[in-house]
Amino acid sequence: MAFPARLPWLALTCLVGACTVGPVAPDLDSGTVDSSVELAPPGTFIDAGSVAFRLWAPHATAVLVEGDFNAGSPTALAPDGTGAFFGWVVGADAGQRYHYLLQESDGGQLLRQDPRALAVDLTSGDGVLYNPSAFAWSASAFQPAPASAQVIYELHLATFNDASGNGAGTWASAAQKLPYLQSLGVNMVEVMPVAQFPGAYSWGYNPTFPFALENRYGTPDDAKAFVDAAHAAGIGVIADIVHNHWGGADLPMWCFDGPCFGTGNGGIYFYTDARRETGFGPRPDYGRVQIRDYIVDNAMMFLGDYRMDGLRWDSVVNIRRAAGVDLPDGWALLQRANATAHAQRPGTVLIAEDLQGDARITATVASGGLGFDSQWDPSFIYPMKAALLPASDASRDMTQVAAAISHGFGGAQSQRVIFTEDHDMVAPQNGPDKGRLPALISPATPGDYFARKRSTLGAALALTSPGIPMLFMGQEFLESTPFPFHPGPAMDWSKVATYSGIVSMYQRMIALRRNLDGTTAGLLGNHLSVFHVNNAAKVIAFHRWDKGGPGDDVVVATNFSNKAFASYIIGLPRSGTWHVRFNADDVAYSPDFKGTPSADVTANAGGRDGQPANGSVALGPYATVILSQ
């Protein structure tokens, strides 16, 4: 049977060749291809009335596939000369369970699950055949906003919209909140890892079957329906993927085809020397071409089969470094994955969680970098939290805030993702300084005046500083519920009504960040000047612009003190009227705000703060004012 043409991201030529491996495991990647055996893509492929199976198991003397379609009479696959085995099974179809039987050289037999299974039966542990081309898409021509105009919303499916309160949220329940997210104004959602994991509850950072989506969240088609509905709402979807380690437990790849290559080692899928250890789980052997194929194919599955619009790679530092030194295998993997994604899916946003402040992460592959489009920037959140949490205004350091606003990579504002809350920063298990921002500011009363004032002050800076801003689910309605590793309470959606004014504040800030009114184009631009830093008064002002001029130049003035200023003089880029587009002290956002009347500013000629003009701005306590012409 001729093998059907495959989509271009499943390259076949990479299945053959040599690669560098650790000193313990033997080199199994070389060999000649038997030209009489047709090379096929890895994993399974469903054709009309039959299924193709291909499995890499270089130490097996024979491989058989057994499933609902041939129970008791497993079908032998043929070796293809690359260490893989391939064959068609007539009568196999979507929805049927299957597993592999591997014959060992000593006569033993191993029952193994498919590491590339697209779905898993939790009762038997078997793979479940799934046809990735069967879903009927409706929003077929979606194009996400350019990175400079993106506002990301990070969410965890299990707890995002969970009526049970026990971490039972699904793709379908999350889709119910897409109209809300659309009204909020975010245009990208980043979904925490959704690959199959052991146990009933997880954040997803311990994947066991990277190609199979977690059953508790729904079916693969449910995931596609979520993406389809998000696209219909004008929202792109970013998948959080984990390839710096796999597991913990229940790994189908562990000692897969027999040998482990030493006590505590995991066989052909993992390093078998000091490079194995990550502190979270075993590190894949990026030196093997088959493992690189596996990871690149997995990344492209989310972008291709699931039509997601971006990838956020977890703990990139643990892919590019091992045992304290650079890991060339990991660099090569990431460069290849990013180059493939950019070539096959133009417009995809590729984000690294590396957290080391290394500009090479977002440098181009051609220049020796890793080729990511953006990376999470710790140089924003840590100084920002240090300025927001103390009870005393005297403890706030405006020079550090200015540094947080100014930091960047490569001269493009979209090369960093900035935030004041993310899943790690709000997890109490990660340390006493971690938690929801309102709860850290006011532990006893996390919805009080100071919690509202200072948490939204941080959000205003994240939404106006250079970078792609990101919110963590519920941040916009002052969610203070802890976000634990173990099953925890779901988000309290009643707070949307309780803090409706705060939600409207986020809506307004997001609209300005995206320039939806056509008056704040500078917030999309790369240019920045932090021209006013007053550590005594705790006031900062900065200028953002793209091309400059009315509707483009934006000035942001922020007061980090509990004192109101009826008339605070700052420099301005140009004379004339500067309109107040946003005043965070408006009582419309909360009735106990002070309502400091920040009126339009008339800028007069006369240099100040290095700017050619100056004007008087009214600043409420812990409030941001956004001005443009």
> Could you tell me if 488 and 554 lie in one domain?
no
What is the mean predicted confidence (pLDDT) over 338-342?
98
386-418: burial string, b at 16+ Cβ within 10 Å, e else? bbbeeeebeebbbebbbebbebbbbebbbbbbb
In a domain, 614, yes or no: yes
Closest C-alpha to 463, from 556, 372, 338, 528: 556
Last residue of one domain, picked from the residues 95, 128, 161: 128
**Domain containing residue 414: CATH number:** 3.20.20.80
Residue 439 lies in a domain: yes
Q: Which of 24-28, 284-288, 313-317 has the lowest mean pLDDT?
A: 24-28
- The tally of domains found in the chain comes to 3
pTM for this prediction: 0.94
Task: Write down the mean pLDDT value for the chain.
Answer: 92
At 208-264, the pLDDT tens digits run 999 999 999 999 999 999 999 999 999 999 999 999 999 977 899 999 999 999 999
Instruction: Convert the pLDDT of each residue in 88-139 to its tens digit.
Output: 999 999 999 999 999 999 999 999 999 999 999 989 999 999 999 999 999 7
* Predicted local confidence at residue 487, as pLDDT: 84
Are the CB atoms for 268 and 59 separated by under 8 Å? yes
The verdict on 88 and 169 lying in the same domain is no
pLDDT at residue 34 tops 50: no
Looking at the fold, whether 118 and 257 belong to one and the same domain comes out as no
Least confident of 29-38, 266-275, 370-379, 502-511: 29-38
Q: Domain end: 98, 128, 158, which one?
A: 128
Q: Tell me the pLDDT tens digit for each residue of 405-420.
A: 999 999 899 999 999 9
| First-residue to last-residue Cα distance in the chain | 68
Bridge partners, 191 (sequence order): 155, 239
Any domain includes 7: no
In 314-463, DSSP assigns E strands to 321-322, 325-326, 349-352, 374-376, 416-418
Q: Is residue 550 part of a domain?
A: yes
Average pLDDT for 381-409:
98
567: domain CATH number is 2.60.40.1180
On whether both 233 and 353 belong to a single domain, the answer is: yes
What pLDDT shows up at residue 37? 40
pLDDT the model gives residue 514:
98
pLDDT in tens, 420-469: 999 999 999 999 999 999 999 999 999 999 999 999 999 999 999 999 99
Domain identity same for 253 and 392: yes
**Spatial separation of the C-alpha atoms in residues 332 and 339, rounded to whole Å:** 11
Which structural domain range is residue 225 located in? 149-513
Same domain, 169 and 212: yes
Within-domain flag for 135: no
Q: CA-to-CA distance for 359 and 416, rounded, in angstroms?
A: 10
Residue 157 sits in the same domain as residue 41: no
Q: 56, 64, 62: which is closest to 83 by C-alpha?
A: 56
Distance between CA atoms of residues 590 and 485, nearest Å: 33
- Mean pLDDT to the nearest integer, 336-349: 97
Residue 399 lies in a domain: yes
529, 198 Cβ separation under 8 angstroms: no
Give the pLDDT of residue 39. Answer: 56
Same domain, 387 and 415: yes
Backbone angles phi, psi at 520, to 5 degrees: -135, 45
459 within domain boundaries:
yes
Same domain? 158 vs 85: no
Give a yes or no: residue 1 inside a domain: no
Please give the full DSSP string across 202-221, using - where no structure is assigned.
--S-S-SEEEEEPGGG--HH
Q: How high is the pLDDT of residue 248?
A: 77
String of b and e for 314-327 (b: at least 16 CB within 10 Å)? Answer: bbbbbbbbbeeeeb
Same domain, 488 and 563: no
Domain boundary among 513, 547, 566: 513
State whether 295 and 326 are in the same domain. Answer: yes
Residues 421 and 559 in one domain: no
